[in-house]
Amino acid sequence: MAAAPLSRKHLRVQAVAAVAENGAAVQAAEGQARPIFPFTAVIGQEEMKLALILNVIDPKIGGVMIMGDRGTGKTTTIRALADLLPQVPVVAKDPFNSDPFDAELMSEEVRQRLKAGEELPVGSMKIPMVDLPLGATEDRVCGTIDIEKALTEGVKAFEPGLLAKANRGILYVDEVNLLDDHLVDVLLDSAASGWNTVEREGISISHPARFILVGSGNPEEGELRPQLLDRFGMHAQIGTVKDPELRVQIVSERSTFDENPAEFHKKYAEKQGALTQRIVEARTRLKTVAIPYEFRVKISAICSELNVDGIRGDIVSNRAAKALASFEGRDEVAVEDIYRVIPLCLRHRLRKDPMADIDNGDRVRQVFKQIFAME
């Protein structure tokens, strides 16, 4: 007797299971070929690590800007996060990393293939992390259209750029405060809309560009314009560790890793796996997390009291609090969740006061305690 055909739901479950199994093998192989410092081995810098994890749980938070001294582990931590993330299902050989099951994450070409009844070949890939070099041109970032081929052959010949490669992944811009403003505008617009559109000589091509935008920089080398800084969902400030014993521990861990990366990875394998599983579960749970109405009102009251322009700060604070509650395994946001995330969400949106004798993050915490009547 012939077996009954599997439904689309069952096929998806099987595909995701295969992706997870294949991902473990790929990560193990890559751990030997291209060793990356484990995320769970990073000492200190809890604010930066929390902001990165929350953006992975809910990419709609809008990315994170990390500002701090040189040599404080910004790039190391960001690369460690990318190595920690699981595999995802993709349409095989698709240049835009289209999701074979979610129409919102498909390119137009893949959508048309699906409407035509074509069976999409499902593959897997590690969540991509793309570095954007400071000298990158707009064509390299957005992609280019081959006008000659379009005119002679009548086809839309498109050469994908870094935004296409970063779709469904992380786009990392080191020294973002040194990047040309027009490129920053392009990145932030794409990150906000989830799409990249390239137009040339009357030809227009769009493709999905949903990525987590992560920028880092040293404040001594210049600041971003306020209107651009406001577009980052969160802002983490990190500093050089002052405790001598902690500094010795950091140096020791780094030396051990450099001497034998494979053994170092084995030491943290269990913690890495546990954190990966926790992130995966949080992403699934996020849709069910609720935030009480009175908390939402108080978040908006804090933004109003601090004279935060627009409502982006309100939106991001709500999203970040829900992501943290989900990460902690709860279905409802607690006051402590808001207290932990709201400085990250608002400190970069406050107007600068040259006479202020208090850090912006501390200002946010002070107003939070007033509004929530905390001691």
- Are 215 and 112 part of one and the same domain? yes
Q: Has residue 21 got a pLDDT over 50?
A: no
Query: What residues are paired with 203 via a beta bridge?
Result: 200
- Are 19 and 97 part of one and the same domain? yes
Residue 278 lies in a domain: no
Q: Has residue 18 got a pLDDT over 80?
A: no
Q: For 281-333, write each residue's pLDDT tens digit.
A: 999 999 999 999 999 999 999 999 999 988 999 999 999 999 999 999 999 99
Alpha carbon distance 162, 166 (integer Å): 6
Alpha carbon distance 42, 52 (integer Å): 13
Query: What residues are paired with 216 via a beta bridge?
Result: 66, 174
pTM of the entire predicted model: 0.82
Dihedral angle of Cα 128, 238, 51, 318, to the nearest 10 degrees = -140
- Are 232 and 309 part of one and the same domain? no
| Residue 83, Cβ density class (10 Å: 0-12 exposed, 13-18 middle, ≥19 buried) | buried
- Are 34 and 126 part of one and the same domain? yes
pLDDT at 192: 77
pLDDT at 223: 74
pLDDT at 267: 92
User: Would you place residue 11 in the very low, low, confident or very high pLDDT band (cuts 50, 70, 90)?
Assistant: very low
pLDDT at 315: 96
Alpha carbon distance 142, 159 (integer Å): 9
Does 347 participate in catalysis according to the annotation? no
Query: What residues are paired with 129 via a beta bridge?
Result: 170
123: tokens are 């593959």
Domain count, the chain: 2
Residue 253 lies in a domain: no
Q: Has residue 370 got a pLDDT over 60?
A: yes
- Are 307 and 229 part of one and the same domain? no
- Are 193 and 341 part of one and the same domain? no
| Residue 51, Cβ density class (10 Å: 0-12 exposed, 13-18 middle, ≥19 buried) | buried
Whether the Cβ atoms of residue 198 and residue 204 lie closer than 8 Å to each other: yes
Residue 198 lies in a domain: yes
Q: Has residue 157 got a pLDDT over 80?
A: no
State the DSSP string of 169-193: SEEEEETGGGS-HHHHHHHHHHHHH
Range among 81-90, 148-157, 268-277, 292-301 rated most confident:
292-301
- Are 218 and 305 part of one and the same domain? no
State the DSSP string of 256-275: HHHH-HHHHHHHHHHHHHHH
- Are 230 and 305 part of one and the same domain? no
Query: 18 or 149: whose pLDDT is higher?
Result: 149
Helix (H, G, I), strand (E, B) or coil at 287: helix
Residue 270 lies in a domain: no
366: tokens are 């002070």
Mean pLDDT of 117-124: 86
Mean pLDDT of 161-181: 86
In whole numbers, what is the pLDDT of the chain averaged over residues?
Answer: 83
| Strand duo 234-238 + 212-217: pairing | unpaired
Residue 258 lies in a domain: no
Range among 47-51, 118-122, 176-180 rated most confident:
47-51
Sign of the alpha-carbon dihedral angle for 236, 44, 336, 280: positive
Q: For 121-152, write each residue's pLDDT tens digit.
A: 888 888 888 888 878 888 888 888 876 665 66
Alpha carbon distance 79, 129 (integer Å): 8
- Are 311 and 212 part of one and the same domain? no
pLDDT at 371: 93
Residue 132 has what DSSP assignment? Answer: -
Q: Has residue 96 got a pLDDT over 90?
A: no
Residue 18 lies in a domain: yes
pLDDT at 356: 60
Alpha helices in the chain (DSSP H): 8-33, 46-57, 74-84, 108-115, 138-142, 147-153, 162-165, 181-193, 226-229, 244-259, 261-285, 293-305, 312-327, 335-346, 360-371
Whether the Cβ atoms of residue 87 and residue 95 lie closer than 8 Å to each other: no
Query: What residues are paired with 241 via a beta bridge?
Result: none
Nearest C-alpha neighbor of 185 from the set 130, 228, 224: 228
Alpha carbon distance 185, 230 (integer Å): 12
Q: For 192-210, write each residue's pLDDT tens digit.
A: 788 888 877 777 788 888 8
Query: What is the percentage of the chain residues whose pLDDT exceeds 70?
Result: 86
- Are 222 and 305 part of one and the same domain? no
pLDDT at 196: 86
281: tokens are 């579960």
Residue 305 lies in a domain: yes
- Are 227 and 294 part of one and the same domain? no
- Are 223 and 104 part of one and the same domain? yes
Domain boundary among 220, 238, 256: 238
Alpha helices in 122-260 (DSSP H): 138-142, 147-153, 162-165, 181-193, 226-229, 244-259
Q: For 351-368, write each residue's pLDDT tens digit.
A: 776 556 677 888 999 999
Q: At what angle do helices 312-327 and 293-305 cross, to 10 degrees?
A: 130
Domain boundary among 238, 258, 278: 238
Its domain, for residue 206, covers 9-238
* N residues, the chain: 375
* Main-chain dihedrals φ then ψ at residue 223, nearest 5 degrees: -110, 155
CATH code: domain of residue 294: 1.10.8.80
| Other Cβ atoms within 10 Å of 254 Cβ, number | 16
Q: How far from each other are the two terminal CA atoms of the chain, in whole angstroms?
A: 71
Range in 7-21, 84-98, 316-330, 359-373 with the lowest mean pLDDT: 7-21
312, 319, 340, 349: the catalytic one is 312
Range in 49-58, 160-169, 272-281, 348-357 with the lowest mean pLDDT: 348-357
pLDDT at 69: 82
Residue 151 lies in a domain: yes
Q: Has residue 44 got a pLDDT over 90?
A: no
CATH code: domain of residue 102: 3.40.50.300
